[in-house]
Amino acid sequence: MGAGVMKKGGGGSRRRRSRRSGAQPMSEINVTPFVDVMLVLLIIFMVAAPLLTVGVPVELPKTAAQALPSETEEPLTVTISADGAVLIQTTEVARDDLVNRLRAIAAERADDRVYLRADGTVPYEQVAQIMGALNAGGFSSIGLVTDVGGPALDGRTE
């Protein structure tokens, strides 16, 4: 990243000139280190971006519904795993403490939308109980998360 000193003239002369008469600052910038750093940062962000999603493994049921449009605020996700554990984002929460946690979260959020992810093997009764807890916790807009590509009601698969 250097600024150096260039001599006037061809530089072929072997005589020593005084510093005042022959030296002027070199005005070129070496951009190679800058490009190297930017490429490394690009690679880091490309690797880290897929890791920012909620990472609780759940076998979602398949439906013919389309995906919802994206939002500005990170969506709140409640997950019911195959063993019946309830997680808010990635933090496991006891069922008796769920409503209190949801009320605290609802007080901090501007959006009352929540996404419920439930494993396909979880009984509907447990899903309905968690939906009731979400409503009691202050979330009136509950979206059920499914995978696309399931059968439609008219008998065709997408």
The whole-angstrom separation of Cα 131 and Cα 133 is 5
Pairing status of strand 91-93 against strand 86-88: antiparallel
pLDDT in tens, 66-85: 766 655 667 888 999 988 89
Using alpha carbons only, give the angle 64, 67, 72 rounded to the nearest 5 degrees.
165
Given its phi and psi angles, is residue 42 left (phi above 0), alpha (psi -120 to 50 degrees) or beta?
A: alpha
> What ranges do the domains of the chain cover?
76-145
For the segment 105-131, the average pLDDT, to the nearest whole number, is 88
The CATH number of 76-145 is: 3.30.420.270
For the segment 135-158, the average pLDDT, to the nearest whole number, is 77
pLDDT of residue 13: 52
Token output for 29:
């910038």
For the segment 75-103, the average pLDDT, to the nearest whole number, is 89
Reported confidence tier of residue 38, pLDDT bands at 50, 70, 90:
very high
pLDDT of residue 63: 77
- For residues 136, 78, 75, 128, the Cα torsion angle rounded to the nearest 10 degrees is -50
pLDDT of residue 152: 72
The whole-angstrom separation of Cα 134 and Cα 77 is 11
The whole-angstrom separation of Cα 10 and Cα 26 is 15
Given its phi and psi angles, is residue 61 left (phi above 0), alpha (psi -120 to 50 degrees) or beta?
A: beta
**Does the global pTM surpass 0.85?**
no
Return mean pLDDT, the chain: 79
Rg from Cα positions in the chain: 30
